[in-house]
Chains A and B, each alone.
Chain A
């Protein structure tokens, strides 16, 4: 077990609202990294834009604080250029399930070895409280006074159908459980999605700490077989009174980067490029 404070950025402290679910994720994340003894300089974290993305300022690794919705493509680019790096996305529900939902599904089907942690607070916080793609149908908001008409996005079944080889759900309030879940997701070889429930104490008055505590149960306390795809798909669709947290699904499948590296052992970023010969290429045009 490495030192958790190794991942702190000196002289900074998060600016999230007191009581924000992001603190739990931040602590669990650092504990997960420490448990794996992740070397900060060999770790690349890609953040989206939103309260979750601000985590980029309070984590001492290489970070790319990218665009709203585009952190998954950026992360894939990093991993494909240098497979020796541990590549992790921290993004929000608006990021991942709104603006960037297509990227999530395509990354899942490629099975690129990156890990995506979605800080799912079911609200747009930084813009002062609009409903997000995971906000519940019927809930009323300042910008939806009659209540939301559309059904929420169901990211976990979607990711499973798209081919994700690791799918889980965590909760910011179950810190030890979340930390272990995050470590498992990072260790998994292939595309991992972990949706993390986190209350937004300022703007989401539906999915509060109490709501979450009343609704979650841990899969590890049940007979759930995480290697059973059909069962995982069923569990992933559980909504309503009880929400499972833990590893829903895990499968060992060849990754995109592995298949590529079987052709080119050295990471693209490390290949010498000083004197590349194109004479043979030109000769073919003669």
Chain B
């Protein structure tokens, strides 16, 4: 740990509010001017499973978790058994010795015995409140401001009434008071609040919801599935305020077909799911494409195949999303890499869906979707809704042809209720009016029309971002949520080794930015591909579209995201 950085981890039984505590703790430090990356690991269980929440805090910009941890908070004995090895030598274990039947077996750490259960019992609060006491104790040990923690507690519980806020603040204070009395020296000099820009505490899913609200999304059908289930929670909390209808369908098949119907009727519509749910949606995706209805699909990846690892992360669905559904047609596939991109790219996804009249897939994963990050408020001034060739009343020409062949592949569009705009939105192959057609030239014409949107889309999007040293002879290549770990690993390389690398982030997988990728990777630079999957799926796309093979491939596919320090080491191994 450097002096302005700290890694804190809390573990406990599922049901003890580990997630709540983690979010509040993260928000407190972001309020205090720090950058935070917080991720959670938990099994797919409601009760009894082992949950952890790890918060990396730093004064300088950070974007990914690291190992090891400086402070480990054990709310149960299992945390000591499973997570003690995560502690850095000299690190600090906060635990309740009176309620732990496991003795910490390490001599190179500092033990902070805090009678959490007793403190809570003294306050006559339910046992679950030990999580708040542990958080207050942590703030005391780290030498942070209790008042800032209290503000974060109030944000979290304000909606539940003053009494609940008071109880939680009281529990935190009890923990804080105990440690500041017993261990007056803050750990390694402490982390006091710093001057910083106001930043939001949010997950990728939160940012996606905000982007969708901003874009005027009015209809969302979502069947609960980790890791996009928190989109449901967020939507439900704000649906009324934003005049959005969220419907929980009987299954994902119904979900996507509901959304196609709502889109056909003129409302901006979306669905959100994970790989398994998307598997069920595949035929509906083709329906949207064939009828040329705008639709936004959020696919939060987790490891597969089948149920896989429901609560862990992966980037294994890229090829699936690119090819899902039968037949030749064009869909946009894009992958944000951080919360800001989740916001802006989701907003853009709705414009692209309308402008191109085709499905747009936004790929995230459990790590990006549900981890907490610090982000400056999004700049919304320049964002303009573009509904493409959607006609308004009085604009429908007498010879209106919904599927008229055009150079862009996109035709004018009407919605039910609009006089003069009647047409058949036909899943069968059809002619320009939507009437079914098996005429060979017309079939080819309509297939071409829909596929031509690929080239139209390519003129609308840039597709890549380049970070770091533009002249570097070694370029890292990645996509999606690995962006954070890659940028942080580059910071470590620069700071520790004086090595300044470049990073090519591919944002659009379809249309694929072939030329831009070629330009960046051609000319003898060494290419290191980094992906959270087994098959190096972006690598295969680069081979296909840019005829370039990576010199090295760094993959992780055990259900966990890259740690920045781990990636740093793995990059150094091949440098």
Contacts and interface: CB of A to CB of B under 8 A. Distances in A.
Contacts of B262: 77-78, 80-81, 268-269
Contact of A64 (B31, B214, B291): B291
Interface residues of A, number: 53
A243 B260 CA distance: 37
B421 A41 contact: yes
Contacts of B206: 285
Given A271-B243, A285-B201, A82 B253 contact: no
A127 interface: no
Nearest to A59: B424
Q: Which of A81, A270, A273, A274 has the most CB of B within 10 A?
A: A81
B264 interface: yes
Interface in B232-284: 238, 240, 242-243, 245, 247, 249-251, 253-255, 257-269, 283-284
Given A106-B249, A273-B215, A286 B200 contact: yes
Closest 5 CB pairs of A and B: A77-B261, A273-B216, A269-B266, A285-B200, A73-B257
Given A64-B264, A78-B264, A276 B213 contact: yes
A52 to B, nearest CB: 14
Interface residues of B, number: 67
A236 interface: no
B425 A73 contact: no
B258 A73 contact: yes
B254 A103 contact: yes
Nearest to B203: A285
Given A41-B417, A57-B435, A278-B210, A77 B221 contact: yes
29 contacts: A12-B435, A41-B417, A41-B420, A42-B417, A44-B416, A65-B436, A73-B255, A74-B257, A74-B264, A75-B261, A77-B221, A77-B257, A77-B259, A78-B264, A78-B416, A81-B218, A82-B266, A82-B415, A263-B240, A268-B245, A273-B218, A274-B385, A278-B210, A278-B214, A278-B380, A279-B380, A281-B238, A282-B378, A286-B200
Contact of A61 (B263, B418, B422): B422
Contacts of B253: 70, 73
A65 B216 CA distance: 27
Contacts of B266: 81-82, 269-270
Contacts of A283: 377
A231 to B, nearest CB: 29
Contacts of A286: 31, 198-200, 377
A37 to B, nearest CB: 15
Given A41-B417, A85-B265, A273-B218, 13 more contacts: A43-B416, A56-B424, A62-B423, A65-B425, A70-B254, A70-B283, A73-B261, A77-B260, A77-B269, A80-B258, A271-B216, A273-B215, A278-B214
Of A73, A84, A271, chain B has the most CB atoms within 10 Å of the CB of: A73
A44 B254 CA distance: 18
B412 to A, nearest CB: 15
B218 A70 contact: no
Interface in B471-500: none
B199 A70 contact: no
B261 A46 contact: yes
Nearest to A9: B435
Interface of B: 31, 155, 198-202, 206, 210, 213-216, 218-219, 221, 238, 240, 242-243, 245, 247, 249-251, 253-255, 257-269, 283-284, 287, 291, 377-378, 380, 384-385, 415-428, 434-436
Contacts of B264: 44, 64, 74, 77-78
A67 interface: yes
A49 interface: yes
B202 A285 contact: yes
A285 B415 CA distance: 37
Nearest to B249: A73
B424 A77 contact: no
B427 A41 contact: no
A56 B426 contact: yes
A63 B210 contact: no
A183 to B, nearest CB: 20
B422 A40 contact: yes
Interface in A248-280: 260, 263-264, 268-271, 273-274, 276, 278-279
A276 B214 contact: yes
Contact of A282 (B31, B200, B263): B200
A60 interface: yes
A80 B200 contact: no
A42 B265 CA distance: 11
Contacts of A54: 436
Contact of B284 (A41, A46, A67): A67
Contacts of B436: 54, 57, 65
A281 B209 CA distance: 10
A67 B287 contact: yes
Interface in A66-91: 66-67, 70, 73-82, 84-85
A77 B199 contact: no
A102 interface: yes
Contacts of B247: 80
Contacts of A284: 155
A82 B380 CA distance: 28
Nearest to A61: B422
Contacts of B255: 73
B219 A81 contact: yes
A41 B422 contact: yes
A119 to B, nearest CB: 17
A51 to B, nearest CB: 13
A57 B198 CA distance: 58
Contact of A74 (B213, B260, B418, B434): B260
Contacts of A81: 218-219, 245, 261-263, 265-267, 269
A250 B284 CA distance: 33
Contacts of B267: 81-82, 268-269
Most chain A CB within 10 A, of B378, B416, B419, is at: B416
Contacts of A77: 219, 221, 257-265, 269
B251 A102 contact: yes
B420 A64 contact: no
B438 to A, nearest CB: 12
A80 B251 CA distance: 17
Contact of B245 (A43, A44, A80): A80
Contacts of B238: 281
A70 B257 contact: yes
